[in-house]
Structure 1
Amino acid sequence: MIAGVLKEKPGETRVSLVPEVVKQLSQMSVTVWVEQGAGASAFYTDDAYIQAGAVIKTAMEIITQADILFSLQLPEKDLWEQIPAGKVLIGVFQPLYHTQQVAQWAGRGFTIFSLDAIPRTTRAQSMDVLSSQANIAGYKAVLLAAYAYPRYFPMFMTAAGSIAPAKVLILGAGVAGLQAIATARRLGAVVEVFDTRPAVKEEVMSLGARFVEVEGAADASGAGGYAVEQNESYQLKQQERIAESAAKADIIITTAQIPGKAAPVLITKTMLDQMRPGAVIIDLAAATGGNTEVTRNDTTVEYKGVHIIGNSNLPAAMPADASKLYAKNVFNFLKLILTKEGALQLNFEDDIVQGACITHNGEVMNERVKRVLESV
């Protein structure tokens, strides 16, 4: 079995496997090929991979001869179109947003495992790339906000006068939101949190934040850990409560996304009009439209003195640790599809393997992706 690690496209600094995991795979009789410079942006040198037992190869050698191909994001079009039929690809491919691509994968006979589709269950926690990367995003979002914000975060009492602490509003108490709460509190901010799931109230309060409650949310218990769409009545009440908190906030961090759909708009222009000049919004949902009306992905927009920073790939700002955590998630997943001797063994009766598999033998396998394709 040969596993090949491809260099990511420009803008993506992470790498799929780190030397530590390469060594573990070598012990399972898996030969690892790494494209030259694949780990450079994450501070993992070619020499480190070689010492771990990997072989440095060209991209063309890897895509034509390796059995499993690793790439966080889909390789550049001119490269992936040369990948022979029947290959196994593992990454974070967002299939719910790229349905046309899914149809092409199936047509090419690829076996695609997209790790963002892994069921969010207790058993799958060690493979949950969304959680490991969102944890970094929440942490980095607060640091980015603190850098962009023109005032102090903590309260200061000095001979020259007192400085009030920053007021932070966090929309969404998932993994990113909870880490953002913890980081903002460490920096001395006063934090309010909104989430459609009342069940997270206790976690929010345990971190020292105030939970903003809105009654009447749709039950998300059957959504596998993902957010669900809310009815119109709830959305109106939600907007009213968020507007009240946004008007007083110095920093807003938004994290709300719904798989396969555009991110919900939670901050309208009317709300932005009421915010304090110098306020900062970090929108982690920018890649799927954003949680504000003016968000643009990978861009900072200034709206009447408020800076809206759209960035959905903050984990790439901490590539060394992000890659280490991601690689560990990958290794834990590989243990489900490889034998102890390193041979590929796909057990589609395993809910994690089935959930992560997007296409196989010319067919679309993932049920959620199937439903999206049928609705197009």
Structure 2
Amino acid sequence: MGSAPQPGRQHGTLTEAPMRLGVPRTTGEDHRIVAVTPDAARRLTELGYDVLVEPGAGDGARLGAHEYVAAGARVAGRDDVWSADVVVALHAPGPAELDLLRPGAVLVAQLAPATDPELLADLAARGVTALALDAVPRISRAQSLDVLSALSNVAGYRAIVEAAEEFGGMFTGQVTAAGTTPPARVFVIGAGVAGLAAIGTAASLGADVHAFDVRPEAADQIESLGARVVRAADATQQVSADGYASALTTDQEAAALRTYAEQTARADVVVTTALVRGTAPTTVTREMVDAMKPGSVIVDLAASGGGNCELTVPGERVVTARGVVVLGYTDLPARLPQHTSRLVGTVVAGVVALITPGQDGRPVLDLDDPVVRGMTVTTGGQVLWPPPPVQVSAAPTEPPPEAAPPVGPRASAQRHRQRRVVLAALGGVLAGLLIAASPPELVGHYTVFALAVVVGFYVISNVTHALHTPLMAQTNAISGIIMVGALLQIGDPSPVVTTLAVVAAALAGVNVFGGFLVTRRMLGMFHRDEPSRSGGGR
């Protein structure tokens, strides 16, 4: 049975009764990952589903069958799991599993819709409604449903762990009685989710991290993790309308390769992450590898798409004649199965919750929802891939006809510098006039104030982003001193002094209380929740 569509909406209720939701065991190189943890299974049962888990599905992540049973799920055989009303898997089913899917079933898995049209045609012919976890549109509302980001985060972290194991030295610099050792130099190509995870991990180990991304807006994210931004103005580009990076032009690619050649020759560890819609462009050529130092390590996180390095062999470890190690592992998330399974389970539960608005075990497709529409690749015997484009905030908007032509990065930077010079000159003139008109006893105070401004600017501007939280605590203390001084001046016979003291006390108070509030929120980001007793979130 089905419910009537709402006026003006493409809605279809797939069944009226609560459904059985099957969780099969993952096979292949990712066999240690399970798509639904006990915590996620509990959430799915709360949505009204009868959750069936294949025996041994959670063994690789050390999640026993008893934990699933305690969460409200049931253990069932392979045939029962794959013939359930809703099937949730990590990867696309093979030929044998496809034969077990019943017509009208809902399949939620990574389906690689852009590269496997035959699978989509087969699913549509079988009457399966398929939602691709790896086709979530890049919009803010869908970030928590992006399984690729979850897997990339783990892969970026694990890439540095693998590199540290292969590298013949310590990542952090050492100062000892026997001498000093410099930190390892790490170069990361791409500051997406995987790249940022690699940057943060390498920086936390004390490495000298440098990173490059063709998107200019990624520079702030790189610096916030304590790394140095490698800049190449001729290779920058904007994000495409679907939120993914576009392929580089010939000139941009040539400029980027020059930057890669310079940085890889100086690096001890190189991490590549460039993947454009499942295809890996070449970012590290054979000549670049030959120019690297013996003992250097390359971790190619785009190996699944063919590899960014010309010497990458997907799934293999390669050592060149000069002793450079090239790691093309494609199972990095599976090497941390507990953490990965927890992230994937959270994503899967969120996706199922999205298509179960009534929390009654009845999935409903709202194809007017851009998130649901983007993931739905087959339904009603039809292939719905590719979805219509979704406008994202990262994409540039078209200027109105009367607007001036867009200004390039160099011209914009030059204008910014010119404005700063003009403002600085005006400020200097005004300061000179103020000093000339002031009594002699105030000249010394102005001098001290000017020196304090200059020193403070250079001190603050050169503090790394990682130290902004303790720096804010220092500024809170300074604001407290200002508040005390202002309070002592309130009641002065001069109305000017009293007015300035009241204003100073008010502003310092706002700064103190606001600073403590922001500091508390920033420190709260590092707070660890208590582990779940069910074991699903270990």
Structure 1-normalised TM-score?
0.94
Q: Is contact 1:285–1:311 with CA below 8 Å preserved after alignment?
A: no
**Paired residues for 1:119-268 under 5 Å:** 119-217=137-235, 219-260=237-278, 262-268=279-285
Return the alpha-carbon distance in structure 2 between the equivalents of residues 255 and 291 of structure 1: 8
Q: Trace 1:54-69 onto structure 2 (pairs within 5 A).
A: 54-64=73-83, 66-69=84-87
What amino acid maps onto 1:153 in structure 2?
F
1:89 & 1:127 partners in 2: Cα distance? Answer: 16
Matched, 1:24 2:56: no
Q: Tell me how far apart the structure 1 counterparts of residues 76 and 331 of structure 2 sit (CA, whole Å).
A: 28
Corresponding residue for residue 279 of structure 1:
296
Once residues 123 and 116 of structure 2 are traced to their aligned partners in structure 1, the CA distance between those partners, rounded to angstroms, is 11
Matched, 1:43 2:83: no
1:321 shift after superposition: 1.3
Show CA shifts across 1:319-360 (max 9, x none): 111111111111111122112212111111100000011111
CA contact (8 A) 1:300 1:310 kept: yes
2:170 maps to a residue whose letter is Y
Residue 288 in 1 paired to residue 305 in 2?
Answer: yes
Which residue pairs with 1:303 in the alignment?
A: 320
User: What SS does the corresponding residue of 1:153 show, helix, strand or coil?
Assistant: coil
Give CA deviations for 1:242-290 in whole Å, capped at 9, x if unaligned: 1000000000011100004x20000000101100011011111001100
Contact 2:86 / 2:107 at 8 angstroms: preserved in 1? yes
Q: Which position in structure 2 is the counterpart of 1:351?
A: 370
* Structure 1 pair 347–207 and aligned structure 2 pair: CA distance change class (3 A): same
Tell me the CA shift for residue 104 of structure 1. 1.8
Q: 2:53 aligns with which of 34, 44, 50?
A: 34
Contact 2:38 2:67 in 1 (8 A): yes
Aligned residue identity for 1:220: Q
Change (3 A) 1:368 1:245: farther
| In structure 2, distance between residues paired with 1:116 and 1:223 | 17
Matches of 2:53 and 2:378, distance apart in 1: 25
**Equivalent-residue separation in structure 1 for 2:283 and 2:251 (angstroms):** 14
Amino acid at match of 2:301: L
Distance 1:139 1:158 in 2: 29
RMSD, matched Cα: 1.6
Q: Take 1:185 and 1:218, find their aligned partners in 2: how far apart are those partners?
A: 24
Change in Cα spacing, 1:218 to 1:211, as seen in structure 2 (3 Å) is: closer
Q: CA deviation at 1:155?
A: 0.5
Unaligned ranges ≥5, structure 2: 1-18, 390-538
> 1:32: Cα distance to partner?
0.1
Q: Deviations over 1:30-76 (max 9, x none)?
A: 11000011111111111111111111111111222x11001101233
Structure 1 residues 152 and 218, CA gap change in structure 2 (3 angstroms) = closer
What CA distance in whole angstroms lies between the structure 1 residues aligned with 2:199 and 2:271? 10
- Structure possessing the higher relative contact order (Cα contacts under 8 Å, 6 or more residues apart): 1
SS in 2 for 1:311: coil
Question: What is the rounded CA distance, in whole Å, between the counterparts of 2:261 and 2:236 in structure 1?
Answer: 21
CA contact (8 A) 1:280 1:308 kept: yes
Report the structure, 1 or 2, having the larger strand content. Answer: 1
SS of residue in 1 equivalent to 2:91: coil
Aligned equivalents of 1:88, 1:183: Cα separation in 2: 38
SS at match of 1:196: coil
Structure 1 gaps, min length 5? 371-376
Give 1:214 shift: 1.8
Aligned to 2:115: 97
Hey, what does 2:89 align to over in structure 1? Answer: 71
- How many pairs are equivalent? 368
Instruction: Answer with 1 or 2: which has the greater Rg.
Output: 2
